[in-house]
Structures are given as structure tokens and as C-alpha cells.
Structure 1
Amino acid sequence: MEKRAAFIMKLKPGCEAEYTRRHNAIWPELKELLSTSVYDYSIFLHRESLTLFAFQKLKGDGGSQDLGTDPIVRRWWDYMADLMEVNPDNSPVSIPLEEVFHME
């Protein structure tokens, strides 16, 4: 069975364009690291609420949310912290979502 993960995060007002710009220029070393556990990753924006919806297809049991001890991920969190709601360690505040339906 294919494993999937979804979660939401929040942007700060006025940061939509910069968030998109930074992700369009994702660091190659971060993309390579993410590819070790995630093979399909999309982030969608609900503009009215500034809610980001992230969806991942996973290679194993872990996803991007499990890479928080890696220095590359920690640098990315620091780089993105001015744009979104974050925890004290600059990790994004992310709320996992429960899958309640999937159609193949």
C-alpha cells in the first residue's frame, strides 16, 4: 500500500509571493535529502486563510517531517521562519491531517 501524508501550515500575511519564490528555488541539497523519503510532494495555498496544505507520497514510513535533525533542514527552517508560523526551533507549525477517503 502506498503511504501518503498530509499536513497544514500557516503563512504570515503578505508572504505568499516570497514563499513561492523560495520554494521555486529550492536548494539542490534539500531536494536531494527530501528525495530519500518523499517521491512526490506538493504544497497548495488557500489564499483567504493563508493556510498551506502539503501532500506527500512516501517511500518508507517517514516523510519530510521526520528530517528535522538534519542540518540542511534546520537551515531551511531558519531561512523560511520569517514567512510562516514557526515553533521555538524555527520548525514550521504543522498539523498532520487524518486521511478519511482515498479513491484509486
Structure 2
Amino acid sequence: MIRKAFVMTVYPDKHEEYHRRHNELWPEMETMLKEHGLIQYNIYLDEETNLLFALLELEDNHRWDETASTTINKKWWDYMEPVMETNPDNSPVTRNLKEVFHLSQDKENKNV
């Protein structure tokens, strides 16, 4: 299993809309993510800074990287563009985070 973490930014007046859109995640988007090896995806909001902290657990980096080129993912980016900082292709502006500690009951993933 691979863990990835990154931050994004939601617009200050769009917190509720961002939350609503994710609560209504399109079934075809969920299917695509799982088909590309997603095990778990969590997003947390720091309401004071508007930062979104995302934590993913994946089966494979290469399969995950392929999600960016899917039609449904591009449609999702277009849908989310009004509520968050995005790049010219409407992908979210992200900043990857380096894992410096992990503790788990799984002995193989005890520490990084």
C-alpha cells in the first residue's frame, strides 16, 4: 500500500459547497477511482486557512497517475473549478507533503 498526502486550497466562501459536492460524489467518479487502485481517500479542511489536507491510500502509483487523463476526472475538475484554486487545465493546485511518521498495527508499515 502507498500513502500520499497533499494540500489544496478552497475559496473562503466555498467551504460548504466543496463539502456538498463531495458528499454527492458521482458514482462513475467513485468507480473510476477504485478501478485505479484507490483504497482510501480522506480530505480535511482547516477553516481558518482554507487549506484542504488530502490523504490517500493506493495500490499503485502508476495506476493512480492514470486517473488524471480519464474523461470523468477532467469533468470533475471542471465541476470543482469554481470552488477551489486550480491550474489552467482546471486540475487542483496541489502541494505534495512528505511523510515523516506513520504508526500502524500493520508491522510492515510501522514507521517510514
Same fold (TM over 0.5): yes
Percent identity, aligned pairs only? 42
Quote the Cα distance in structure 1 between the aligned partners of 2:64 and 2:55: 10
Which amino acid in the other structure matches residue 82 of structure 1? P
Q: Which amino acid aligns with 2:22?
A: H
Q: How high is the TM-score relative to the length of structure 1?
A: 0.93
Q: Tell which has more relative contact order, 1 or 2 (C-alpha 8 A, sep 6+).
A: 1
Equivalent residue for 1:101?
101
Q: Deviations over 1:30-56 (max 9, x none)?
A: 000011221111000000000000001
In structure 1, how many angstroms separate the alpha carbons of the residues matched to 2:74 and 2:85? 15
TM-score w.r.t. the length of structure 2 is 0.87
Q: How does 1:84-99 map to 2 (within 5 A)?
A: 84-99=84-99
Contiguous gaps of at least 5 residues in structure 2: 105-112
In structure 1, what is the Cα distance between the partners aligned to 2:84 and 2:5? 18
Q: Which has the larger radius of gyration?
A: 2
Gaps of 5+ in 1: none
Q: CA deviation at 1:62?
A: 4.0
Alignment root-mean-square deviation, CA: 1.3
Deviations 1:29-84 (A, max 9, x none): 00000112211110000000000000011011247554111110000000000000
Aligned length: 103
Q: 1:20 is matched with which residue?
A: 19
User: Does 2:43 align with 1:43?
Assistant: yes
